[in-house]
Amino acid sequence: MDSVLISPAKASFIGIPTVIFSVVIPIVGIAVFTYIIAKRLAPLVRAAPDNRFDRINERIVNVIKLWLGQYKQPRYMMAGTLHILIFAGFIILSVRSLSLVFLGISEDFMLPGLGGIAGQIYGVFKDFAGTFVLVACVIAAVRRGIFKPERYAVPKKYGHDHTGEAVFVLGLISTLMVCDMLFEGTQAAAQIQEGMHTELIIPGTGVWFTVNMFLAKATPLEKLQNIHILAYFMHELTFFFFLCFLPLGKHFHVITSIFNVFFMKLDKGTVKPVKWGVEDDKLDELESFGVKKFEDFTWKHMLDFYTCADCGRCSDNCPANACGRPLSPRFISIKARDYLFKHYPLQGPMTNGSPLIGDIFTEDEIWSCTTCGACEEECPVMNEYIDKIVDLRRGMVDEGTVPQSLQKPLSALEKRGNPYGKMEKKRADWAKDKEFSEICNVKIIGGKETADTLYFVDSITSFDDRIQEIGKATARVLTSAGIDFGILGPAEKDSGHEIRRFGEEMLFQDIKEQNTEAILSSGVKNIVTADPHTFNALTKDYKDLPPVEHMCQTMAKLIGSGKIKLRAVEDKNKIYTYHDPCYLGRHNGIYDIPRNVIDSISGIRRVEMGLRCRDRSFCCGGGGLMLFYEPIEEKRMGQIRVEMAKKAGANVVVTACPFCLVNIEDAIKTSGLEGKMEVIDLVELIDRHMI
Amino acid sequence: MDILVCVKRVPDTAENEIEVNSSGSDIERDDLVYSVNEWDNYAVEEAIQIRDNSGGAVTVVTVGDEESEEVLRREMAMGADNGILCSDEAFEGSDGKGIATILKSVVEKGNYDLILTGAQADDGAGEVGGMLAAMLDMPYASLVNSIEIVNDKMIKVGREIEGGNQEMNEIDLPCVLSIQTGINEPRYVGIRGIRKVASVEIPVLGVSDLGLSAEAVGKSGAKVTRQDYFVPDLGEGAEILEGSTEEIIEKLIEMLKSKGGIK
């Protein structure tokens, strides 16, 4: 195609052929970029090992769904849509940007496959892409710079505001788009002015606007030529500047997110081993436990810090953050990333080895997490938080810095196998209550008695007066369905779910061994529990046990098969809402089964708590050892949750976790809603409605 | 600074249901779990912190049967450098003075600048610290809730006194201090810590090792013997308010006003 304008590959500027710039800019840009990336990789080499090269097919599917498909983005509709547009534009325009680099060296350059019709189709796509990216950037900049959504705000204690960086980058992207439009537009305008052939220009695109602007003003050819060359080099300079700027801040995610998603954690609800590659029985040989200094993090966890896009979705959903505890997951990442930038600088020596607690993290911050998983559920780049929190807690436990409020229950767990310090022989006392045992005989297995099914009761249901009612309801449901079941009684220890998540790995291992032996030697064929924490522990933390079910699953089957028959709802005026326990919902993906169980009571009226249900459920305050921890907070999580239920118009909260029951019941009282709101466990609800 | 901390293994009141046995001579000891006496744990933490700041070594000592070794290991897992177990059949049945006599011999065998005890034990009378100081003819401060090291001759100690008041004293070294809870936040000791010190040798000292005569300690040396052990009958004076929360609060305020508790 004959061209009216001289291309950057042939032009000259004050006597210097511009092709020199076309060659020098990319070489310098790529050299600087390579240097920066090498520096950024340095800490990852020193990091702890992490096992992320397994199950490649699953990982590829994740990349397609979560990275390419931007699956999590629409959870925030406005920001998500803008991001999807800009992301799609980046993908489309990456090809264009690459060919532009070569066009500056050879004017007839064409990427393989983009000659002919494919090239023309691509040309249309990229004109559209450039246009919608520009529009999205302008909207995003206005939103970020003028409307300033609350979730981007940086509280004073976490340093300065990040709006500047965000708007600056949007400016860079817009500059790239505008430069390309001017580069194309000048060319097309010149061709049209000279009555020569031009590429297809789609009305409405940025190129179309620039062409019309030049034509309307009858811009002289010479001026078009200057703009043409200037726009090209502006584009190149901006492009390589942008490339080198990415690894210096939150926009590093543009490069790292694909790797971060590929290496993401595949098994929800699990906790990483103390050290990858070290078996449980070799733990005693480890010199140190958990994360104490930065290099104790695994390389993937460091990659997480680089990949954090500072979008604030984690903290927006974090219940600890919502109730004013000194924890904001977003700033766990940002503070750690800034630590990386500071201690592994682009120039100068690396400094490492200083303890993190007391430097960038505080003890209270790390103990504040309930491990509910709301942050991880929301993160569009699949960053992990729970494993990091657990690793930091392991480090604190190893150093002995455990709050006094947790030392007592931990010591009781070590000595008595329950956090309350109650005597082992009293563990089955709840089942011996006279009135109850007359209608429902609960066998204690492991000795002479045997059973098909083990009901793993766990500590809170064994010892808490109120929660023992869940134990009794569970026993009644199992009995009336004709299931041959028993409990371990004094041989049962706490499942250890929170012991592990609070960082006391050795105590957990000890308790796990005792429970495993008691369960296996009892000869049961399957296990049920009414506690999601127990369910999660037995399925994720224990090995080689008989199949485990949560009572909601068991009840769904029993109702389905007609072994349990239910009468119509007791009180038609009550409006029920289901509160998803974190360890049933988010960590195990069980959302519909408990809802179906509720709905199988005919005439029941059930509402959802707006957006805060299912995988966006709001933690009630945490279970296990969290009940003993005395956090710094403005409000209780449970109170916020009860408020949500009230707003939804419900007056009965149904949950399926003993800890949720305790926390919500407590919150009803402290919110002054006694008599107006009640909470009931799913098993109790079914028990009440059994015929 | 070389510090000796005297510790005791006691039934853990938080994790036991304490009942008197049928003969009334002792508590029911089946199914009991034991731990380090809480006050002693604070004393050991304080000693470790002093050592970490000013150097020296921390030695923990206990008088008891062979099972008492577990509390020494726990305190060594916390950070104490050495342990000494005083165990001998002749020690059985010692009263407070007997225990103080044994500990005095331990102190004299070493060269300690500072001797710490807990202010009292869960199952004790809060007497050993004072007796030990008197026997050693050393200065003594009880219920200490802060320690400031001035130099190797003298330290400053804070004492909690009646009505929540605080007293500051200078005291010459070597001295004996009994430590109150709340002086610090004792660190956590996990199973891992205890396993790390599981194979450390702990010397066991008996009557002859300590140069004591068997008559001076144990049952034969005891000037105080326990005669009875019982749970007192519930007395009058407690009143349980009934009604709704609002009503209870109202009644309580009324009662407090009428008795001059609030104005």
Each residue's pLDDT tens digit, A30-41 = 999 999 999 999
Mean pLDDT to the nearest integer, B247-257: 89
CA B230 to chain centre: 23
A95, A213: one domain: yes
**Helix residue ranges per DSSP H, A289-443:** 299-307, 313-317, 319-322, 329-343, 363-367, 374-378, 386-399, 404-416, 434-439
B187 inside 8 A of chain A by CB: yes
A465, A506: one domain: yes
A75, A210: one domain: yes
Closest by Cα among A334, A373, A164 to A253: A334
Tens of pLDDT along A578-629? 999 999 999 999 999 999 999 999 999 999 999 999 999 999 999 999 999 9
Contact assignment for A504 to B189 by CB distance below 8 Å:
no
Domain containing A674: what range? 575-689
B242 inside 8 A of chain A by CB: no
Measure the CA angle with vertex A335, ends A329 and A336; round to 5°: 95
A87, A188: one domain: yes
Give the HSE-up count for residue A146: Cα atoms under 13 Å, Cβ half-sphere.
Answer: 6
**Helix residue ranges per DSSP H, A68-149:** 77-103, 116-142
- A554 within some domain: yes
Query: What is the number of domains present in chain A?
Result: 4
Take residue B110 and report the two structure tokens written for it.
């070493």
A548, A599: one domain: no
Contact assignment for B14 to A412 by CB distance below 8 Å:
yes
Which of A400, A404, A415 lies at the smallest CB-CB distance from B189?
A400
- pLDDT above 90 covers a percentage of chain A that reads 90
A292, A239: one domain: no
A169, A22: one domain: yes
**What helix, strand, coil percent values describe chain B, rounded to 5?**
35, 25, 45
Is B61:B6 a contact under the CB 8 Å cutoff? yes
- A202 within some domain: yes
Mean pLDDT to the nearest integer, A205-219: 93
- A195 within some domain: yes
Contact assignment for B190 to A506 by CB distance below 8 Å:
yes
pLDDT for residue A189 is more than 80: yes
A241, A139: one domain: yes
- A190 within some domain: yes
Tens of pLDDT along A54-83? 999 999 999 999 999 999 999 999 999 999
Q: What is the CATH number of the domain that holds A664?
A: 3.40.50
B16 inside 8 A of chain A by CB: yes
- A598 within some domain: yes
A674 backbone dihedrals φ, ψ, rounded to 5° = -60, 135
pLDDT for residue B201 is more than 90: yes
Res A107: pLDDT: 85
Q: Which of A500, A535, A560 is the last residue of a domain?
A: A560
Res B25: pLDDT: 76
Contact assignment for A423 to B31 by CB distance below 8 Å:
yes
A458, A364: one domain: no
A108 backbone dihedrals φ, ψ, rounded to 5° = -100, 15
B84 membership: H or E segment, kind and range = strand B82-86
A530-544, A633-647, B160-174: the lowest-pLDDT one: B160-174
pLDDT-derived band at B17, boundaries 50, 70, 90? confident
Tens of pLDDT along A231-286? 999 999 999 999 999 999 999 999 999 999 999 999 999 999 999 999 999 998 99
Which of B35, B188, B195 lies at the smallest CB-CB distance from A400?
B188
The overall average pLDDT reported for chain B is: 92
Res A629: pLDDT: 96
Q: Which of A560, A591, A607 is the last residue of a domain?
A: A560
Dihedral (CA of A265, A266, A269, A274) sign: negative
Tell me the chain B residues in contact with residue A411 when contact means C-beta distances shorter than 8 Å.
12, 14-15, 35
A538, A624: one domain: no
Res A352: pLDDT: 76
Mean pLDDT to the nearest integer, A309-316: 96
- A260 within some domain: no
B192 inside 8 A of chain A by CB: yes
DSSP state of A297: S
Res A558: pLDDT: 97
Q: Which residues pair with B157 in a beta bridge?
A: B147, B169
Q: What is the CATH number of the domain that holds A319?
A: 1.10.1060
Tens of pLDDT along A389-423? 999 999 999 999 999 999 999 999 999 999 999 99
pLDDT-derived band at A108, boundaries 50, 70, 90? confident
Residue A566 neighbours by CB distance under 10 Å: 18
B15 inside 8 A of chain A by CB: yes
Residues 44-83 of B with CB under 8 A from A: 78
Is B157:B144 a contact under the CB 8 Å cutoff? yes
Distance, in Å, from the CA atom of A102 to the CA atom of A617, rounded to the nearest integer, reads 51
Strands B165-172 and B154-161: antiparallel
- A411 within some domain: no
Distance, in Å, from the CA atom of A499 to the CA atom of B191, rounded to the nearest integer, reads 12
Distance, in Å, from the CA atom of A487 to the CA atom of A545, rounded to the nearest integer, reads 15
A461-465, B145-149, B256-260: the lowest-pLDDT one: B256-260
- pLDDT above 70 covers a percentage of chain A that reads 100
Bigger pLDDT: A483 vs A1: A483
Res A115: pLDDT: 80
Q: How far is A412 from chain B (nearest CA, A)?
A: 6
- For tokens 């900049």, name the residue: A141
Determine the length of chain A: 691
Tell me the chain A residues in contact with residue B17 when contact means C-beta distances shorter than 8 Å.
423
Quote the pTM value: 0.93
pLDDT for residue A196 is more than 90: no
Res B122: pLDDT: 86
pLDDT for residue A11 is more than 70: yes
Res B12: pLDDT: 85
Mean pLDDT to the nearest integer, A638-653: 97
pLDDT-derived band at B217, boundaries 50, 70, 90? very high
Tell me the chain B residues in contact with residue A397 when contact means C-beta distances shorter than 8 Å.
188, 190
Which of B12, B78, B192 lies at the smallest CB-CB distance from A506?
B192
Strands of the sheet with B2-6, listed across from one edge: B165-172, B154-161, B140-149, B175-179, B114-118, B2-6, B57-63, B82-86, B204-205
Contact assignment for B188 to A401 by CB distance below 8 Å:
yes
CA distance from start to end of chain A: 85
Dihedral (CA of B42, A496, A590, A71) sign: positive
A488, A593: one domain: no
- A406 within some domain: no
- Class in CATH terms, B2-221: alpha beta
pLDDT-derived band at A1, boundaries 50, 70, 90? low
A92, A215: one domain: yes
The overall average pLDDT reported for chain A is: 95
